[in-house]
Amino acid sequence: MTEIVAQRIRDLVTEIRQHDYNYHVLDEPTIGDSQYDLLLAELKRLESEHPEFLDPNSPTQRVGAKPDSGFEEVAHRIPMLSLDNVFDLDEFRQFVERMTDRLDQSDSPYLTAEPKLDGLALSIRYEHGRLVLAATRGDGQTGENVTQNVRTIRSIPLTLKGSHYPDVLEVRGEVIMKKADFAAMNQRLAEASEKTFVNPRNAAAGSLRQLDPSIVATRPLSFYAYGLGEVSEPLGTTHSEVMDALKNLGIPVNPGLVRGEPRVIETAYESLMARRDDLPYEIDGMVVKVDALTLQNALGFVARAPRFATAWKFPAQEAATRLVAIDVQVGRTGAITPVARLEPVFVGGVTVSNATLHNFDEVARLDARPGDQVMVRRAGDVIPQIVRVMTEQRSDVSRPISIPTECPICQSPVERAEGEAVIRCSGGLICRAQRLEHLKHFVSRKAMDIDGVGERLLEILIEKEWVATPADLYRLSAESIEGLDRMGEKSAHNVIQAIAQSKETTFARFLYALGIRDVGEATARTLAAEFGDLDRLIQATHDELMDVEDVGPVVASHIRAFFEVDRNRAVIQDLIDLGVHWPIATVEVSQDGPDLTGQTWVLTGTLETMTRDEASDKLRALGAKVSGSVSAKTTMLVAGPGAGSKLAKAESLGVDVIDEAALIALLGES
Ligand code: IVH
């Protein structure tokens, strides 16, 4: 009997380790979290009933006792170095050239490139396959013993996988917190009214240096290896072989390793930078290393960094600067938003002098005041944001700004709809700021696409009160605008011609150009396809609008509200009288396939061979109406994997349901 229990414990340990490996190293879990938890619970139970069979490296033994006082010092047998940096292509090429010269070779050496994870360096020592020591980098010579904490990091195996490994194996890598884990953890901390962390790097560092391992165990840390310290036998002859060998031993390695000539590495840099924001973790550059270990040794070290490797940095995404003022802007729909004016600062690769503050709740949450030192973040194409205010550096005289009660442009009272964070100017199109934004939208490329009518010209036209509504644009003449904003005869003529040309448009563009709240390009296109005709759309009821795919109650109300305003309908009529027109949609009913005229179809879940838009187009071509919600009027629901409430509703209403394969068969494409 006891032998059976001992065997079951060993099997569970093996099985759980394999799942840890599948999840953390291969990134290919084969069971779900709850199944995993069941295995772990069974193991815990057996171990507590039979402590004599407890393996000290069992997956249940990750949390140990906390140190009495601080962490002990650990001397690194092989120092933990840092890396030199290069910041651009020229510097990268110089780095390659220096190495090639030094090696006295005609060709540059083969290189590897991996993401430079932004966390903190860690050295983990295995002896005879068991984790015996984990230490932080410290000053590179001496670090801190954080073994108890590191044992709680689930991606770090307590024992190596397989049966063949060096007696001594020191793995070096980076402890990080993934972006999603960071966000979830911060939310948890906030809900528990505990202190949150500023960024994933601080969260990783702060967590690893927690004195209580049971707290560390609740912090979602990850680890990726990028190199070796002391080893009793070689794992390979190149860096890439070493990384593969580590992976086979169950150690998660730095993902996304690229290997090749300098050109390949240069391309990898561009590609990594482009993907930066989509990666699950924060990176601050790319580490380039010579692949062959013999060449690494030949190149050796300078001071505290290797000659065979460098960090090719990305532009920093965060920088500190001064918040000079908080201005207020009025948008097209009247939204009054605070904008941060900054002392210009180089961040995310560009000089930034404005940042968005979203709304006044956000200003209050950040407690941002003019004069404050702030941390600005710009990631990719994202609009710069203020992530933090250094309130500790604030002067005594600083005062919070007050929320405007009237529009700064037209002095109309501001409104705040219930449940909304934004405040709005109630002035509508009598507000010059709203007028300007409205007209800018009307002429923009995806709307009426009127080239040559820019912000400056619109400002002047509004100022002179020549243009109040979009229709007024079509009443302008070349003579009247010549001379405005230094405009010559030729440009004036071109502008008028561009305006005239825009009269020939499409229904979808026209709808989008109207600037109805929440009706973006895609919604405008769907509405145009669904209604085909302006009058039908103007007369559509709230329910009919809700039947349209992607139109929910809020958008439907905005559309209704827009057409209910007399002035809006007058402007539309004016535009049409002035010659704005579009081809009348003739729904081209396809000759092949069944006639679905009069039927209403709904699509839900994921389709595999086509997008939902494609499927909708095909159904419409057969005469069907495609709706976004299931009702008693629905003829058929096409349900793909992941279908949820719509499927349930269809079933409860007795609506017919088919899957994608049946849809394809019907469309005659199988
Ligand atoms: S190799 C001899 N590879 O960057 C030094 N380091 O700025 C070996 N880092 O202390 C470092 N990702 O903590 C290397 N793929 C990577 C890395 C990486 C992040 C960190 C590491 C190092 C620091 C140097």
DSSP letters of 51-120?
GGG--TTSTT----PPPSSSPPEEE-SS------EE-SHHHHHHHHHHHHHHHT-SSPPPEEEEEEESSE
Three-class SS string for 537-603? Answer: HHHCCHHHHHCECCCCHHHHHHHHHHHHCHHHHHHHHHHHHCCCECCCCCCCCCCCCCCCCCCEEEE
The pTM of this model reads 0.63
What is the pLDDT at residue 249?
97
CA of 262 to the centre of ligand 1 (A): 19
Amino acid found at 343: E
82 lines ligand 1 (CB under 6 A): yes
121 lines ligand 1 (CB under 6 A): yes
Class at the top of the CATH hierarchy for domain 428-501: mainly alpha
Atom of ligand 1 nearest to the CA of 118: 19
CB count in 10 Å sphere of residue 656: 10
157 lines ligand 1 (CB under 6 A): no
Three-class SS string for 369-404? Answer: CCCCEEEEECCCCCCCEEEEECHHHCCCCCCCCCCC
Residue with CA nearest ligand 1 atom 17: 116
The domain 85-313 having CATH identifier 2.60.40.10: the answer here is no
User: Does the pLDDT of residue 111 top 90, yes or no?
Assistant: yes
174 lines ligand 1 (CB under 6 A): yes
In the structure, what pLDDT confidence band is assigned to residue 588 with cuts at 50, 70 and 90?
low
Q: What is the pLDDT of residues 162-216, one digit of tens each?
A: 889 999 999 999 999 999 999 999 999 988 888 888 889 999 999 999 999 999 9
Nearest to 520 by CA among 479, 558, 478: 558
For 500-527, what is the mean pLDDT? 92
Q: What is the pLDDT of residues 50-65, one digit of tens each?
A: 999 999 999 999 888 7
What is the pLDDT at residue 2?
83
Mean pLDDT for all residues in the chain: 91
Maximum mean pLDDT: which of 68-82, 131-145, 345-359: 131-145
For 483-502, what is the mean pLDDT? 91
CB count in 10 Å sphere of residue 284: 18
Residue with CA nearest ligand 1 atom 10: 82
Structure tokens at 50: 């039979």
What is the spatial distance between Cα 113 and Cα 613, in angstroms, rounded to a whole number?
39
484 lines ligand 1 (CB under 6 A): no
Residue with CA nearest ligand 1 atom 21: 121
CA of 82 to the centre of ligand 1 (A): 7
Residue with CA nearest ligand 1 atom 22: 82
116 lines ligand 1 (CB under 6 A): yes
226 lines ligand 1 (CB under 6 A): yes
User: Does the pLDDT of residue 380 top 80, yes or no?
Assistant: no
Atom of ligand 1 nearest to the CA of 120: 13
Q: What is the pLDDT of residues 227-246, one digit of tens each?
A: 999 999 999 999 999 999 99
576 with 471: CB under 8 angstroms?
Answer: no
Q: What is the pLDDT of residues 447-481, one digit of tens each?
A: 999 988 999 999 999 989 899 999 999 999 999 99
In the structure, what pLDDT confidence band is assigned to residue 138 with cuts at 50, 70 and 90?
very high
254 lines ligand 1 (CB under 6 A): yes
**Same topology between domain 316-424 and domain 600-667:** no
User: Does the pLDDT of residue 587 top 60, yes or no?
Assistant: no
What is the pLDDT at residue 94?
97
290 lines ligand 1 (CB under 6 A): no
What is the pLDDT at residue 670?
43
For 518-523, what is the mean pLDDT? 89
Which of 117, 176, 296, 304 for mutating ligand 1's site (highest number of atoms within 8 Å of CB)?
117
Nearest to 16 by CA among 62, 50, 48, 77: 62
Structure tokens at 170: 């020191």
CA of 158 to the centre of ligand 1 (A): 23
Which of 116, 201, 308 for mutating ligand 1's site (highest number of atoms within 8 Å of CB)?
116
Bridge partners, 337 (sequence order): 329
For 8-14, what is the mean pLDDT? 95
Query: With pLDDT > 90 as the criterion, what percentage of the chain qualifies?
Result: 62
197 lines ligand 1 (CB under 6 A): no
For 610-634, what is the mean pLDDT? 83
User: Does the pLDDT of residue 668 top 50, yes or no?
Assistant: yes
Which of the following is catalytic: 44, 66, 116, 161?
116
Calculate the CA dihedral of residues 643, 645, 646, 647 and round it to 10 degrees.
Answer: 60
Domain boundaries, the chain: 2-63, 85-313, 316-424, 428-501, 507-577, 600-667
Amino acid found at 247: K
195 carries an active-site annotation:
no
CA of 305 to the centre of ligand 1 (A): 10
In the structure, what pLDDT confidence band is assigned to residue 591 with cuts at 50, 70 and 90?
low
Residue with CA nearest ligand 1 atom 13: 121
User: Does the pLDDT of residue 268 top 80, yes or no?
Assistant: yes
246 with 225: CB under 8 angstroms?
Answer: yes
Q: Which listed CATH number (3.20.20.140, 3.40.50.10190, 3.40.50.970, 3.40.50.300) goes with 600-667?
A: 3.40.50.10190
Higher pLDDT, 537 or 629: 537
Q: Which listed CATH number (3.40.50.2000, 1.10.287.610, 3.40.50.300, 1.20.59.10) goes with 2-63?
A: 1.10.287.610
For 349-367, what is the mean pLDDT? 90
Residue with CA nearest ligand 1 atom 9: 116
CB count in 10 Å sphere of residue 380: 13
In the structure, what pLDDT confidence band is assigned to residue 669 with cuts at 50, 70 and 90?
low
Nearest to 352 by CA among 387, 389, 384, 379: 384
Q: Which residues contact 96 (CB under 8 A, 6 or more apart)?
A: 108, 111, 262
CA of 83 to the centre of ligand 1 (A): 7
Range 544-550 contact pairs with CB under 8 angstroms and sequence separation of 24 or more: 546/628, 546/629, 547/600, 547/625, 547/627, 547/628, 547/629, 547/631, 548/627, 548/628, 549/603, 549/612, 549/616, 549/626, 549/627, 549/628, 550/522, 550/523, 550/526, 550/628
Calculate the CA dihedral of residues 92, 94, 95, 100 and round it to 10 degrees.
Answer: 130
Structure tokens at 624: 């069907």
Superfamily of domain 316-424: Nucleic acid-binding proteins (2.40.50.140)
Amino acid found at 668: G
What is the spatial distance between Cα 300 and Cα 616, in angstroms, rounded to a whole number?
63
Q: Which listed CATH number (3.30.750.80, 1.10.150.20, 2.60.40.180, 1.10.3720.10) goes with 507-577?
A: 1.10.150.20
Nearest to 29 by CA among 17, 16, 20, 38: 20
The alpha carbon of 492 is separated from its chain's Cα centroid by a whole number of angstroms, namely: 44
SS3 298: helix
What is the spatial distance between Cα 168 and Cα 170, in angstroms, rounded to a whole number?
7
What is the spatial distance between Cα 61 and Cα 58, in angstroms, rounded to a whole number?
5
What is the pLDDT at residue 590?
62
SS3 655: coil
Q: Is 394 left (phi over 0), alpha (psi -120 to 50) or beta?
A: beta
User: Does the pLDDT of residue 392 top 90, yes or no?
Assistant: no
Atom of ligand 1 nearest to the CA of 306: 2
Reported as type and span, the H/E element at residue 330 is strand 318-330
CA of 214 to the centre of ligand 1 (A): 28
User: Does the pLDDT of residue 428 top 90, yes or no?
Assistant: no
Amino acid found at 342: L
Calculate the CA dihedral of residues 355, 359, 361, 363 and round it to 10 degrees.
Answer: 30
b/e map 485-519, b = 16+ CB within 10 Å: eebeeebbeebbebbeebeebebbbbbbbbbbeeb
287 lines ligand 1 (CB under 6 A): yes
